[in-house]
Chains A and B, each alone.
Chain A
């Protein structure tokens, strides 16, 4: 697959008329491992193209579902609604293999509420089923539009988030972190921007909530000890390997996400968040560059760990990497560990150490 092929693929997806066609185009992404593109294209460009394709595939699936639903006459279409993404999809950091993380928000007058709910619930089932048919597996954690937690009337969604921000149990904090990534994919995006702003305000309005969210950045820990030894998995199918997602990627993205929320940065891509933090003067140019490099390293290994086969996505065998790769990974893990500690103790001041 070449860059030009990406453009051709995009055109074909835009013209697709059925879920079956979309499934076929989704499978073209699996050719990426054999592509010369990988060796001479910056990782960020690959992610950008890849995620653009994922977005288009999902948007076309939603259009098809919406069109079919209108002809079925199930409930009433709300005045405003938007299908949004969460997780790596929302951050435009999906690899080849990716499951679903999504939801729907809508606005509806109270007298039409039951009919609107019926329409949206039916739509949610249809969309998630089509996405599954195309190749986006159902989310094992049930962060999907079919889960009432993530598909709600917008004011109710804000109410639910408010109660999470008040309760602050570990699960509540986890939900707030998940919600903080929301990115509109299809429909009325102003609805999403509006609730995102409200979400950030309600989190920042409670010192207890922000403090709990800050504590949450301490896990998962980067498995690198003071002597620079990387700890692989001890047991299981991936014994001796490293889970790149929990060992490097998540520690980085969570700590950056926390600072983004604290500084009302609405961008959802981690690189964009990082850039915004730099532009706002929260982090210095030097720190920005260091973290950017570590983040790109994590994206590189995430992409490469997903190339072989779906089952082993996220796992890499440290000892099987080239010397240069080992050095880059270790350096990124060291930086991530240091950065994670800094964010954990962040007191709001510009810290350049």
Chain B
């Protein structure tokens, strides 16, 4: 075994570990979202993560991966359906990835697509029909996510322009968040969220400990997400990416807590968890392009700003139960644009993607590319999501009945309560 083989084996091992870490983020989402929603929906909210991951694993293998990474045009990939030709090892009939072993990269990318769909579900929480999750999930995993992925990662038109989105602030997070936003808008607010005078009510999550543990699991999983996206070990660059990732998350936690204290008067725990996630979302695009100090700044800005936007959108009548649009959408935009300002010359040269940012003498070019990427991806996802969800709304309907919503989705969609001892059916009757 020569050095090349050892290097190849190490890279393969690192990427599969990273894939497992990203898959473990599903557990993080399950805890985070179930903890942030009500007891009567807990089994449903947590359980749909398995539904989501199972669905994405099959659909992305069959179609999504080919559209994202297959040869095609600037708009989408057109080859490699069912990942045909992948045999493993050094020599496959086709090779889509920085790694020759397509099966490992497929697994890694499947995990990313599943994260994006999990984000989208956040906006649907506590009132969408199960069938909508399945239908929209399939379309999302075939058309929406893969096409944006192709534009930026699969050699599409944004990739050609040098857009910097290292691990997917736009591809994964903004895409999921825009779908969540459209879902939230078309579904409407949960029963009881807003008063007649349009003021919002609090619908507290049932278990803040779950929310916190979910946040920590996601933080850990993000090392696979960002550092794993180096898909190599030989130069140790993955360690640097892990460092910027961690620094941003830490800054996001503190910034969100400080912002919550300043704006709301209380050091809100959920705000702190969301601050961590927003910072991680933001550093996802920039983790390989920015210096450590800039990672702290980006994380702090994302953590602080998204606390404010979550309140702002709520005041404007948007019921986004787990603040998916703020945490993944606004932070995704912040993160994607951040390289336009902070991308350092030495790191851009090292990664070989795009140009240096405004603060490093690169002018507005990279910022313009990043902004174009955000706008184009956002508009595309919004348009397709709207069309699909609008058709679903007019045909099968998006939302469960008010009676089912009040009873809770655990009992109405799945037949059993997540907390049966606490939710005796006799207390859940609808008059």
Mark A residues whose CB is within 8 Å of B: 221, 223, 225-227, 229, 231, 234-240
**Complex contacts, A237 vs chain B, CB 8 Å:** 195, 197, 199
Q: Is B311 an interface residue (CB 8 A)?
A: yes
B201 touching A236, Cβ below 8 Å: yes
Docked Cα-Cα span, A234 to B270, in Å, equals 14
**Complex contacts, B396 vs chain A, CB 8 Å:** none
Residues 183-227 of B contacting A (Cβ, < 8 Å): 195, 197, 199-202
User: Contacting chain A: which of B46-54, B260-268, B292-300, B372-380?
Assistant: B260-268
- Closest CB in chain B relative to A175 CB, distance in Å: 28
**Complex contacts, A227 vs chain B, CB 8 Å:** 262
Chain A to chain B: the 7 pairs with minimum beta-carbon distance, closest first: A239-B199, A231-B265, A235-B202, A223-B265, A237-B195, A235-B201, A225-B262
Looking at the complex, which one of B200, B261, B263 makes contact with A235 (CB distance below 8 Å)?
A: B200
Mind listing 17 A-B residue pairs with CB under 8 Å? A225-B261, A226-B262, A227-B262, A229-B263, A231-B263, A234-B311, A235-B200, A235-B201, A236-B200, A236-B201, A236-B202, A237-B195, A237-B197, A238-B199, A239-B315, A240-B199, A240-B315
- Closest CB in chain B relative to A59 CB, distance in Å: 39
- Closest CB in chain B relative to A12 CB, distance in Å: 38
Give per-residue flags for B237-273: 1 if the beta carbon is below 8 A from chain A beta carbons, else 0.
Answer: 0000000000000000000000001111100000000
B264 touching A234, Cβ below 8 Å: yes
B199: nearest chain-A partner, CB-CB: A239
Give per-residue flags for B289-327: 1 if the beta carbon is below 8 A from chain A beta carbons, else 0.
Answer: 000000000000000000000010001000000000000
- Closest CB in chain B relative to A202 CB, distance in Å: 36
Docked Cα-Cα span, A312 to B245, in Å, equals 48
B204: nearest chain-A partner, CB-CB: A235
Docked Cα-Cα span, A229 to B263, in Å, equals 7
A241: nearest chain-B partner, CB-CB: B199
- Closest CB in chain A relative to B306 CB, distance in Å: 16
Residues 10-68 of B contacting A (Cβ, < 8 Å): none
Docked Cα-Cα span, A103 to B315, in Å, equals 44
The size class of the interface chain B forms with chain A is 10 to 19
A236 touching B264, Cβ below 8 Å: no
B195 touching A236, Cβ below 8 Å: yes
A225 touching B201, Cβ below 8 Å: no
Number of residue pairs A-B, CB distance < 8 angstroms: 34
- Closest CB in chain B relative to A227 CB, distance in Å: 6
Docked Cα-Cα span, A238 to B315, in Å, equals 12
B265 touching A225, Cβ below 8 Å: yes
**Complex contacts, A221 vs chain B, CB 8 Å:** 265
**Complex contacts, B263 vs chain A, CB 8 Å:** 229, 231
**Complex contacts, A235 vs chain B, CB 8 Å:** 199-202
A229: nearest chain-B partner, CB-CB: B262
Residue in B199, B263, B315 with the greatest tally of chain A CB atoms within 10 Å? B199
Docked Cα-Cα span, A188 to B171, in Å, equals 80
A231 touching B264, Cβ below 8 Å: yes
**Complex contacts, A239 vs chain B, CB 8 Å:** 199-200, 315
- Closest CB in chain A relative to B11 CB, distance in Å: 49
B202: nearest chain-A partner, CB-CB: A235
Docked Cα-Cα span, A236 to B194, in Å, equals 8
Docked Cα-Cα span, A101 to B282, in Å, equals 55
A230: nearest chain-B partner, CB-CB: B265
**Complex contacts, B262 vs chain A, CB 8 Å:** 225-227, 229
- Closest CB in chain A relative to B95 CB, distance in Å: 53
Docked Cα-Cα span, A236 to B261, in Å, equals 19
- Closest CB in chain B relative to A299 CB, distance in Å: 24
A239: nearest chain-B partner, CB-CB: B199
- Closest CB in chain B relative to A349 CB, distance in Å: 31
**Complex contacts, B261 vs chain A, CB 8 Å:** 225
**Complex contacts, A238 vs chain B, CB 8 Å:** 199
**Complex contacts, A236 vs chain B, CB 8 Å:** 195, 199-202
**Complex contacts, B311 vs chain A, CB 8 Å:** 234
B194: nearest chain-A partner, CB-CB: A239
- Closest CB in chain B relative to A341 CB, distance in Å: 16
A234 touching B197, Cβ below 8 Å: no
**Complex contacts, A226 vs chain B, CB 8 Å:** 262
B311: nearest chain-A partner, CB-CB: A234
- Closest CB in chain B relative to A244 CB, distance in Å: 16
**Complex contacts, B195 vs chain A, CB 8 Å:** 236-237
- Closest CB in chain B relative to A312 CB, distance in Å: 10
**Complex contacts, B315 vs chain A, CB 8 Å:** 239-240
**Complex contacts, B200 vs chain A, CB 8 Å:** 234-236, 239
Docked Cα-Cα span, A263 to B315, in Å, equals 47
Docked Cα-Cα span, A252 to B13, in Å, equals 65
- Closest CB in chain B relative to A230 CB, distance in Å: 9
**Complex contacts, A223 vs chain B, CB 8 Å:** 265
Known A227-B262, A236-B195, A237-B197; 10 more pairs at CB < 8 Å: A221-B265, A226-B262, A229-B262, A229-B263, A231-B263, A235-B199, A235-B202, A236-B200, A239-B315, A240-B199
A225: nearest chain-B partner, CB-CB: B262
**Complex contacts, A234 vs chain B, CB 8 Å:** 200, 202, 264, 311
**Complex contacts, B199 vs chain A, CB 8 Å:** 235-240
B262: nearest chain-A partner, CB-CB: A225
- Closest CB in chain A relative to B224 CB, distance in Å: 35
Docked Cα-Cα span, A305 to B261, in Å, equals 27
- Closest CB in chain A relative to B266 CB, distance in Å: 8
Docked Cα-Cα span, A238 to B196, in Å, equals 11
Docked Cα-Cα span, A266 to B148, in Å, equals 75
- Closest CB in chain B relative to A88 CB, distance in Å: 25
Residue in B195, B202, B263, B265 with the greatest tally of chain A CB atoms within 10 Å? B265
Residue in A227, A231, A235 with the greatest tally of chain B CB atoms within 10 Å? A235
- Closest CB in chain A relative to B354 CB, distance in Å: 38
Docked Cα-Cα span, A221 to B261, in Å, equals 13
- Closest CB in chain B relative to A3 CB, distance in Å: 36
Docked Cα-Cα span, A237 to B202, in Å, equals 11
**Complex contacts, B265 vs chain A, CB 8 Å:** 221, 223, 225, 231
**Complex contacts, A229 vs chain B, CB 8 Å:** 262-263
- Closest CB in chain B relative to A315 CB, distance in Å: 11
- Closest CB in chain B relative to A314 CB, distance in Å: 16
B197: nearest chain-A partner, CB-CB: A237
**Complex contacts, B264 vs chain A, CB 8 Å:** 231, 234
**Complex contacts, A225 vs chain B, CB 8 Å:** 261-262, 265
**Complex contacts, A231 vs chain B, CB 8 Å:** 263-265
- Closest CB in chain B relative to A231 CB, distance in Å: 4
Docked Cα-Cα span, A221 to B311, in Å, equals 22
Residue in A221, A234, A240 with the greatest tally of chain B CB atoms within 10 Å? A234
Docked Cα-Cα span, A246 to B430, in Å, equals 36
- Closest CB in chain A relative to B415 CB, distance in Å: 32
Docked Cα-Cα span, A351 to B316, in Å, equals 47
